[in-house]
Structure 1
Amino acid sequence: MSGRIADATWPELEQIDLVVVPVGSIEQHGPHLPLDTDVTIAVGVAEAVAAALDGAWVAPAVVYGSSGEHQAFPGTSSIGTDVLRLMLVELVRSMRTWARRMLFVNAHGGNLQALTGAVRQLVDEGHDVAWAPCATEDVDLHAGRTETSLMLFLCPSSVRLDLAEAGNTRPLTEILPALVTSGVRDVSANGVLGDPAGASAKEGALLLERMVRDVLTRAAVATP
């Protein structure tokens, strides 16, 4: 048996094997994608991962993340690395009283430090927990073709294609110093790092399939 934890009753959740927790963020994604883009992608990947694993359940998403680099844009709602790390630690401590294993599926790069720190601490405490990114070799930086394609597949009604426009298309190695010191707005006035041109739901479906495959592979060997 499996499903969404939020829809279950407590007797259905006794002695379950795996809880998959989507981790996203509420942050700007350019003029054409919604603030919950990372949440939508994390949930989409997590649900597909759970469907491929016998006895896996999907938890409600952790919707707030560490998004300080986007704070110059209205709507961005960040709780920071320290709070996110502590939240993930306490969440696992609670859920592990009734679930054998846990897997975080993360769709926002800014959450990396919190996730690695939380998982390292939890593994040291004896918990069976791992994390995996929603990533493939085709992922661009932010609100470009990759995320636009994924959203056209997962939630097309939320995409404003008529407002889509290219942002800063330089590679991360060139813009990273400015990103770290000044945030996204210093390198991209519209918040886009990439170019959404050519995005399609068909490409989004293929990307999601690759992400799910990658998570399933990583989860089997993941270490903190």
Structure 2
Amino acid sequence: MTALGSRVWPGVGPSVLAVPLGATEQHGPHLPLDTDTTIAAELCRRLAGRVPDVLVAPALPYGSSGEHAGFPGTLSIGRSALEHVLVELVRSADHFAGVVLVNGHGGNLAVLRRAVRTLREEGRRVLAWSPSGRADDTHAGRTETSVLLRLRPADVRLEAAEPGVTTPLPDLLDRLVAGGVRAVSPNGVLGDPAGASAEEGEAVLAAWADALAAAVHDWLGR
């Protein structure tokens, strides 16, 4: 049993706490709003299966998603609120051996870096990790569609899947920052979901889980 929420307090020892950090935001016309949270939670679950003494916290399903505000269903708590939540959450976890923040949403990255810097300056043991991917397939494209086909196939509307903009993200940043995702991709997709499959999704998840476990082992000095 690796889920923190199912424990009673006498059963919580000096474990490492893995916190899934996600978002609730549009993922094109074919993927669910909680895609990033689902991915972060699955990676934490796999981490707990590979690294001893890891407990998985309940997922944080809201992040900094202002760039997706032009689409219905997106909920964002903004950068300052997210930073405050992360700092206070890790401060409250002093009885754990350390905290790993497993992030599933690219829009959280800048906030995550600031929060981790603050926490480390306070002497707290914290690691932040995010999956890597192709610069032309960053949101609701082939990678995320494949992963969701592996994890929650009933919630993927393949009949509604359509390509978005495939320009590499660094070349879109100025327009994206100025006008949000809707200004660069009317359907909210940054990539092309064509060719997605559950088999590819499992391969992606396995590679991400390997990288996450390796990062945690290095961090723990094991």
For normalisation by structure 1, the TM-score amounts to 0.94
User: Which residue pairs with 1:152 in the alignment?
Assistant: 149
User: Which residue pairs with 1:72 in the alignment?
Assistant: 70
Match of 1:167 among 164, 168, 173: 164
**2: distance between equivalents of 1:135 and 1:11?**
37
1:5 matched to 2:4? The reply is: yes
User: Which residue pairs with 1:209 in the alignment?
Assistant: 206
1:128 matched to 2:133? The reply is: no
**Percent identity for Structure 1 against Structure 2:** 48
User: Which residue pairs with 2:28 in the alignment?
Assistant: 30
User: Which residue pairs with 1:49 in the alignment?
Assistant: 47
Unaligned 5+ runs, structure 1 = none
**Aligned residue pair count:** 219
Contact 2:100 2:129 in 1 (8 A): yes
User: Which residue pairs with 1:196 in the alignment?
Assistant: 193
**2: distance between equivalents of 1:173 and 1:130?**
25
- Matching of residues 82-97 of structure 1 within 5 Å: 82-96=80-94
- Over residues 96-133 of structure 1, what are the superposed CA-to-partner deviations in whole Å (9 max), with x where a residue is unaligned? 2x211110000101001111111111111111111100
**2: distance between equivalents of 1:169 and 1:101?**
38
Contact 2:82 2:111 in 1 (8 A): yes
Following superposition, the deviation at residue 26 of structure 1 comes to 0.3
Following superposition, the deviation at residue 52 of structure 1 comes to 0.5
CA RMSD of aligned residues (A): 1.4
Query: In the alignment, residue 10 of structure 1 is paired with which amino acid?
Result: W
For normalisation by structure 2, the TM-score amounts to 0.95
Contact 2:51 2:217 in 1 (8 A): no
User: Which residue pairs with 2:18 in the alignment?
Assistant: 20
- Secondary structure at the counterpart of residue 126 of structure 1: coil
- Secondary structure at the counterpart of residue 31 of structure 2: coil
Contact 1:5 1:60 in 2 (8 A): yes
- Secondary structure at the counterpart of residue 71 of structure 2: coil
User: Which residue pairs with 1:178 in the alignment?
Assistant: 175
Following superposition, the deviation at residue 174 of structure 1 comes to 2.3
Following superposition, the deviation at residue 50 of structure 1 comes to 1.4
- Secondary structure at the counterpart of residue 92 of structure 2: helix
Contact 2:30 2:158 in 1 (8 A): yes
Contact 2:86 2:115 in 1 (8 A): yes
Unaligned 5+ runs, structure 2 = none
